[in-house]
Structure 1
Amino acid sequence: MPLVAETYFSTDLGQLIIGKTEEVLSNNIDVLKGKFDLIITSPPFPLNAKKKYGNLTGDKYKDWFTSLAPLFSDLLSPTGSLVIEIGNSWEPDRPVQSLLHLESLLGFVKNSDADLRLIQEFICYNPSRLPSPAQWVTVNRIRTVDSYTHVWWMAKSDYPKADNSKVLRPYSKSMLQLLKKQKYNAGKRPSEHNISANGFFKNHGGSIAHNLFEVEQIEHNREVRLPHNVLSFSNTSSNDVFSQKCREEGIVPHPARMSGGLISFFVDFLTNKGDLILDPFAGSNTTGYIAEMMNRRWFSIEISEDYAYQSTLRFK
C-alpha cells in the first residue's frame, strides 16, 4: 500500500516501517483507516525506570497510552481485535506494586473517543523470567517473583471475529481414555452443574483453550497442553535461529520480545488467512515473522533502526 513513510524492508505479504508510531499512523490514516483485522503488540511497559528500548514513566506513560486508543480504534475493521501485552510495574524505591498498568488500561478502554471494550484478559506465565523486582526479591527477599504479564483483548464490537475451535488444546490423557471408553460418571456435581449422560462423548479434536498461557512448562511431571498452533519456544530461548544469528553478528537481541507462541495463538484465533495485522511497536518484528509464516498480511512499525535490522535476521 502506498504510504507516507520509510519502508525498511518488505516481503510479498508485509512491510516494516521505520518511524514513530503515532506519526506514521496519523500521517497515513486515510489509507489505513478500518483496514486491520488484528492489532497485536507489546508496547513499552509502564515502568518507573527508563529502559534502553524507550519508555515513558508515571502519569506521562498513562496519558500517552490512553491517547493511543482513538487512533487504534480508527485503524480496526468493524470486527477487528486489539491485543496488548503489558507487564506489572512497581513504585520507585518501594516494595509496592504500582497501579499504573491498571490505570492505563482503564484510561485506554474508557477513552470516550475510541468506543472500545475489554473482551477478555489473558495471563502469560513464564517461569524463566529473571527474579523481579530484584531489590525486593533477591536482595531483601520480601516479595515473590513477578513471573507473568497481562494480555488484554479489546475490540470496538461486542462480537469481534473469533473462533476458539481453531485454537484447541490437545486432550488430556484422561479425556482420551474417556472418549475411548465412552463411559463416565454423569449427573449432578457439588457445584450444582448437571453433567449429561453423553455430553463428553463427542471428539471435537481438542479442548477449549484457557486464558492462561504457559510459555514454559510449569510442572515437569505434567504435560503442557497449549493449543495446537502455539509455537513451542520460550520468549527466553537462547538456541533459536534468531538468537544464533544475533550472536554470530555480535548483536544484543531486543530485551522485551513478545512470545511467538502467544502471537500465533491470537493470529489463528482472531484472523483468517489473508487478513491484515498491525504491530505498532514491532521491536525485532516477531509479529511480522509469525504473520508471514501463517500467510497473513502484516504491517509493522519500529522507531529504532537497530531493532529493525534484527527483524531482517528473522526473515533470513
Structure 2
Amino acid sequence: MGDDFSPAYFTCKGAAYIGDARKLLATLPDNSVNLVMTSPPFALQRQKEYGNLDQHEYIDWFLGFAKLVHQKLKDDGSFVVDFGGAYMKGVPARSLYNFRVMIRIVDELGFFLAEDFYWFNPSKLPRPIEWVNKRKMRVKDAINTVWWFSKTEWPKSDITRVLAPYSDRMKKLIEDPDKFYTPKVRPSGHDIGKGFAKDNGGAIPPNLLQIPNSESNGQYLSGCKAVDLKGHPARFPAKLPEFFIRMLTDPDDLVVDIFGGSNTTGQVAEAQGRRWMAFEILREYVGTSAFRFIDKDTTPKVMKDIYKRIISGESVDLDEYRKQ
C-alpha cells in the first residue's frame, strides 16, 4: 500500500482501509493479489441504507472496479463475486444485471469464468414481499449467483481442501463395497466398477453451496451493540468466503475484499493463515468491523474506545487487544 494511505486498523496478518476501493487498488503492485473475494452492494431497485445504484448504471460502475482487479491479480489468481438477484422495477420479472455483469467482465476485461456457483440460503426471508407474500405469484428468492472469475484459464485451485463430509450411505459403501454395491454397466456404456468406493477424505462438493445466513449473536454483533450501532445490513456468512479462500489460496497468500462491509472476508482469511486487505468506503462500518479481530471477553468500554479511535482517524493495532 502506498504512503498516502494508512490502515484504519491492522493485525499481524492484514489491514482494513477506509476509502474508495478504486483508489486503494491503484496503489497495489500489479500481479500481486492471489484472490479478490467480495460481495458488492446489489443493483436493487429499492434504495438500501448502505447504498446501491440503479440497475442500468450498476454494470458500468462495477466494471470500473473489475478492470483494476484484473491488473492486480497474479496470473493464477481468482476474483469471486457474490451477486444477489433482483426484479425489474414494478413487475414480477427478473433483472438480468448479474448475468450481464458476468458476460461483460469476460467479453470486455479478459477474465475467464472458471465456474459458476449458486449460494442457497435456506434461512432467507420470503422476498420480494409484493410478489411472494402479498400476491403469491412468485416463490421465495433464496439463491445468490457467485461468479468465480480467473485471470487466466489455469487459476490456482485445490478442491481437496473443501471436501464435504460423506453421507451415511457412502460411509457404509466405503466400509463394505460388496455388501452395498454391485458393479453395473450404465445405459451410456460406462462400466462403473468399485474404484470410487474408497475413502478420499470426503465428497467432492457441488457448485450449489447451501449455507444459512442466520447469525444472531457473536463478537461482531456484540460489539455493535456495545457502541449502540446496527450491524452491517448485508453480511455474508463466514462459510461462504471460507470455501473459496481454502480452495483458491495457500497460507500467506494475499486475499483482498474491495467492498469490505463488516470484513467477514478478512476475519476468515486471518483464521486460515492468509494475509488480507479490506477496503470499505463507510467509516462506521470499518469501525465496527474491528470487533471481529479482538478477544471475545473484551469489555464494552474497550470496544467503544477502539471504535472511537478508528472513527477519529487513528490507525489502530488490534493485536494490542488480543491475548498473546
TM-score (norm 1): 0.89
1:211 Cα deviation after fit? 0.8
**Equivalent position amino acid for 1:276 in 2:** L
2:182 corresponds in structure 1 to 185
Aligned residues between the structures: 292
Match of 1:42 among 27, 39, 42: 39
Deviations, residues 125-144 of structure 1 (Å, cap 9, x unaligned)? 11211211111111111111
Partners of 1:303 and 1:43 in 2: CA distance: 12
Over aligned residue pairs, what C-alpha RMSD do you find? 1.4
Partners of 1:3 and 1:257 in 2: CA distance: 30
Does residue 51 of structure 1 match 2:38?
no
Partners of 2:189 and 2:182 in 1: CA distance: 15
Identity of aligned residues (%): 37
Does residue 290 of structure 1 match 2:285?
no
2:171 corresponds in structure 1 to 176
Partners of 2:14 and 2:200 in 1: CA distance: 34
- Structure 1 alignment gaps of length 5 or more: 217-234
3-state DSSP of counterpart to 1:110: helix
Does the CA contact (< 8 Å) of 2:21 and 2:65 recur in 1?
no
1:192 Cα deviation after fit? 4.0
Question: Within 5 A, what are the aligned runs for 1:209-248?
Answer: 209-216=205-212, 235-248=213-226
Deviations, residues 172-217 of structure 1 (Å, cap 9, x unaligned)? 1111111111322112123543202x3123211111111111113x
Partners of 1:8 and 1:290 in 2: CA distance: 19
2:315 corresponds in structure 1 to none
Does residue 205 of structure 1 match 2:163?
no
Match of 2:237 among 237, 249, 259: 259
Question: Within 5 A, what are the aligned runs for 1:1-316?
Answer: 1-26=1-26, 28=27, 31-111=28-108, 114-183=109-178, 184-196=181-193, 198-216=194-212, 235-316=213-294
- Decide which moves more: 13-22 or 50-59: 50-59
3-state DSSP of counterpart to 1:283: coil
Partners of 2:68 and 2:47 in 1: CA distance: 25
**Equivalent position amino acid for 1:119 in 2:** A
Higher helix share: 2
2:304 corresponds in structure 1 to none
Partners of 2:141 and 2:291 in 1: CA distance: 31
Partners of 2:39 and 2:148 in 1: CA distance: 12
Partners of 1:191 and 1:49 in 2: CA distance: 49
1:246 Cα deviation after fit? 2.1
**Equivalent position amino acid for 1:10 in 2:** F
1:227 corresponds in structure 2 to none
Partners of 2:138 and 2:33 in 1: CA distance: 41
3-state DSSP of counterpart to 1:89: coil
- Decide which moves more: 7-16 or 177-186: 177-186
Partners of 1:75 and 1:3 in 2: CA distance: 18
- Structure 2 alignment gaps of length 5 or more: 295-324
Moved over 6 A (4+): none
